[in-house]
Amino acid sequence: MILECGVNQTKKSLSELWSLLRYEEKKFGIDNLTLTERDIFQAILHLKGNKDKIKLEKILENCPHPRATFFRCLKKLRRENIVLVTKDIIDTRKSYLSVPKKFNQ
């Protein structure tokens, strides 16, 4: 009986957390992204931390998705202005990723 109550409470808590997550995604305009695109965006935010930008190379090293999938998702994230890509001034082969200020809260 006690175990059932705990499981039901956990399910309710997870449901509420999931609902809050979806609400926040809608508020920021990323609710139209696929799960893979959201996963890659979350990885960029996580690895970037408090810095303004992060090397594309570092994201690729830590991304669990295949390279082709990553770049396909990055293309959509760029098109939607969710991720910005800039080239290094000295070595244009190097790229950096950043996100608009509204996602840095």
Q: What is the pLDDT of residues 23-72, one digit of tens each?
A: 888 888 888 999 999 999 999 999 998 899 999 999 999 999 999 999 99
pLDDT given for residue 1 in this prediction: 47
Question: What is the helix (H) or strand (E) element at residue 75, kind and residue range?
Answer: helix 67-79
pLDDT given for residue 5 in this prediction: 55
pTM above 0.85, yes or no: no
Q: Model confidence over 12-25: pLDDT tens digits?
A: 788 888 888 888 88
Measured from the Cβ of residue 47, the count of other Cβ atoms closer than 10 Å reads 16
